[in-house]
Amino acid sequence: MLAFILRRVLSGVVLIAVISFLAYVLLYVSGGDIARRILGENATADTVAKKTEELGLDRPLLAQYGEWVVSAFSGDLGRSWFTGELVATSVSTRLAVTLSIVIGATVVSAIVAVVLGVLAARRGGAVDGSVQVISLIGFAIPGFLIALGLVLVFAINLGWFKATGYVPATTSLTGWLSSVTLPIVALSIGAIAAVSQQVRGSVIDAMSRDYVRTLRSRGLSTGSVVYRHVLRNAGGPALAVLAVQFIGLLGGAVIVEQVFAIPGMGQLTVRATTLGDIPVVMGVVIAFAVIVVVVNLLIDLAQAALNPKVRLS
C-alpha cells in the first residue's frame, strides 16, 4: 500500500512539473508585450522598456522559467504584475472562496442527485420521465444562463440574495449564505443532471443482480434492499462521477464567479490569463494541478481500500 501511495505521489509531482513548464511556455508565447499592457497607452517607449527590464522579461524564456522554479521551490510564487499582491496570498484567499462554493455545490448536488436517481430508478413511469426531463434541461442550459436567470429572479426582483460580491462566513453567516446560495444552485444544476443519471443507472443495474433477488427471496422490504444494499454497491461509481464533477465544478466556477462578481479562483484565473499576469496564472495552475492530483489520489486510495484488486494493477 505504501509503495502504491508513493508511486501515485511521484507521478503527481511529475505531472505538476510538466504542467507548470507547458503553462509557462504557452503564456510566454501568447503573451505579447506585457509591459505595454501593464502600463497602457500613456506610457512612453522608454518607460515600457524600463518596465520590461524590471520584470525580467528581457531575458531568455528558460532563464525566466528556471528562476520561477527555484523561487517556487523555496515557497515564493512572486507577486502579481498587475496588482502587486503576493501570488500565494491571491491564490489562498480566493481558493477559500471558490472551495466554499464548489464544496457546497458538490454536497448539494450529491444529496439531490441521489434522491432523484433513486426515485427515478425505483418508481419508473412518470417520476422517471420527469427526472429524465429535468436532467436533460440541466445538461442543456449553460451554467452562466442559469446564473443570470437566478440573479434576475432571486436577487434583483425578489431581493432575497446578493446579486454580486462575497461575504466571508467569518464576517456574517447570513451574509455568506446570501452571497453563496445562488452560485451554489447555479453550479449544482449541471452536476445534479450528471450524477442523478449515474445513480439511476447504477441502481437499475444493481436491482437486476442476483444478490438482490436473493435478498428479496429472504423477505426483505424493497426499501431496505435499496437503501441498505443496492445504494452501497451503486455508491462506488457514483462517487467516482461525483469526484469528476468536483473537478468540473472548479471549471464551472470560473463562469459563475464572473456573473456574480465573486472574488474566487475563477475571477482570478480569467483576469490573470486575459492580462497575461504570468506569476498569478502560474500560481493558479499549480493550485489547480495540486487539487486535481490530490482528489485523484484520494479516489484511488478510497477505491484501493474498498477493492484490493486495484492495488495490484
Binding mask 102-121 for another protein (x = CB under 8 A): ----------x--x---x--
**Least CB distance to another protein at residue 209 (A):** 25
Cα dihedral 118, 122, 125, 127, rounded to 10, equals -30
Cell 419508473 sits on residue: 124
Name which position in 3, 42, 126, 208 contacts another protein (CB under 8 A).
Answer: 42
Q: Count residues contacting another protein (CB under 8 A)?
A: 63
Rounded least distance, CB 87 to another protein, Å: 11
Residues 170-189: x where in contact with another protein by CB under 8 A, - otherwise, as a string: --xxxx-xxx-x--------
185: phi then psi, degrees, rounded to nearest 5: -60, -45
- Alpha carbons 300 and 308: distance in angstroms, whole number: 11
Among 15, 16, 19, 39, binds another protein (CB under 8 A): 39
Q: Does 84 bind another protein (CB under 8 A)?
A: yes
Locate 82 and state its grid cell: 498587475
135: part of which helix (H) or strand (E)?
helix 125-140
Q: Which of residues 119-178 bind another protein (CB under 8 A)?
A: 119, 148, 151, 155-156, 159-165, 167, 172-175, 177-178
Quick one: which of 100, 196, 198, 267 contacts another protein (CB under 8 A)?
267
Contacts of 48 (CB under 8 A, 6+ apart): 33, 35, 36, 39
Looking at 7, 18, 47, 66, which residue binds another protein (CB under 8 A)?
Answer: 47
Q: Which is nearer to another protein, 184 or 304 (CB)?
A: 184
For 16-153, strand residue ranges (E) read none
Contact criterion met (CB below 8 Å) for 179 and 167: yes
